[in-house]
Structure 1
Amino acid sequence: MGKVWTLQDAKNRFSAVVEAAQRGEPQHVTKRGVDAVVVLSAEEYERLLHRTPKPKKTFIEHILSAPKLPEGMEDVFDDRDQYPSEYRDIDLD
């Protein structure tokens, strides 16, 4: 998470805050005990700024992207032989 600084401490030791952020450690600054800002390196800020979100999938694409069972394992969940059932005719008239 990086170090947490009070606003006064961050002001007094700003160069230490900047140096730690440049090392890749986000520096959290609180104001009156509440998170106020996070100091990041310029490199990390640019990476976050230009990150492109993944396009949203449709429900069908989401279902189709589910992991597939390894070859030969397709019938692992087929328990029809274990619980045989008989079909019966139903008259719908």
Structure 2
Amino acid sequence: MATWQLQEAKAKLSEVIDIAQKKGPQIITQRGVKTAVIHSFEEWEQSQQSKKPTLLEILQSGPQGDLPIPPRGSWKMRKPVKF
């Protein structure tokens, strides 16, 4: 993986893309901090297919029915325990 400064990557974007397709991901830095990665579309597509679902996605994929929630105040509370 090669590292490119943002200014250089902007000036040579087509070269960065060609290298990413041939040799693998290319890292872009901004003010010395790694901020982005450019890699081929095929690599990105593969990473999306092997992505594990998030908890939110799992919960949203479950049944979408109404839950039987009793009306407020219908729960019987236990009496407090005295010591």
Which TM bucket (shorter chain)? 0.5 to 0.7
- Compute the displacement of 1:6 (Å): 0.2
Structure 1: which 4+ aligned runs deviate by more than 6 Å?
none
Residue number in structure 2 paired with 1:7: 6
Q: Give the letter aligned to residue 28 of structure 2.
A: V
CA distance in structure 1 between the aligned counterparts of 2:23 and 2:2, rounded to whole angstroms: 11
- Where structure 1 has 5 or more consecutive residues not aligned to the other structure, the ranges are 54-93
CA deviations over 1:39-91 (Å, ceiling 9, x no partner): 010000000011054xxxxxxxxxxxxxxxxxxxxxxxxxxxxxxxxxxxxxx
Query: 1:24, 1:41 within 8 Å by CA — same for their partners in 2?
Result: no
State which structure, 1 or 2, has the greater radius of gyration over its C-alpha atoms: 1
| Alpha-carbon distance change, 52 to 33 in structure 1, aligned in 2, over 3 angstroms | closer
Q: What count of residue pairs does the alignment treat as equivalent?
A: 52
CA distance in structure 1 between the aligned counterparts of 2:51 and 2:19, rounded to whole angstroms: 27
Q: Quick check: which one's helix share is greater? A: 2
Provide the aligned C-alpha RMSD in A.
Answer: 1.1
Q: Give the letter aligned to residue 17 of structure 1.
A: V
- Where structure 2 has 5 or more consecutive residues not aligned to the other structure, the ranges are 53-83
